[in-house]
Amino acid sequence: MKNFKTISAVDSEKLIAEQQPMILDCRDLKDYRAGHIDNAMHVHEQLRDSLLKKADKAKPLLIYCYYGHASEHLAEMFGDFGFQQVYSMAGGYSDWKEQHKL
């Protein structure tokens, strides 16, 4: 049983507006620097480990990557560590850019 939900870029935008989730970008640093969702943090090993240990597990968490595949693995990990509202963005930053005409 999945311990995270996969949601579209449109639903991700609603989630951001309504619940102000923590947003994690799991793409390469170069691509993160080239453009990312506002307030997204670039996930690197230290940040991931720190969040798994210390972050508020009740706060919604939205994770995205390039196209929505790698983010599912990271979302599953956070769900396994007890995070209660974990979302992976289907289509990733690619769909987000298309939706926002970036």
Q: Which residues are catalytic?
A: 65
Sheet holding 41-42, edge to edge: 5-7, 86-89, 61-64, 22-25, 41-42
Element (H, E) at 23: strand 22-25
- Integer CA distances (angstroms), 9 to 1, 44, 89, in order: 23, 23, 6
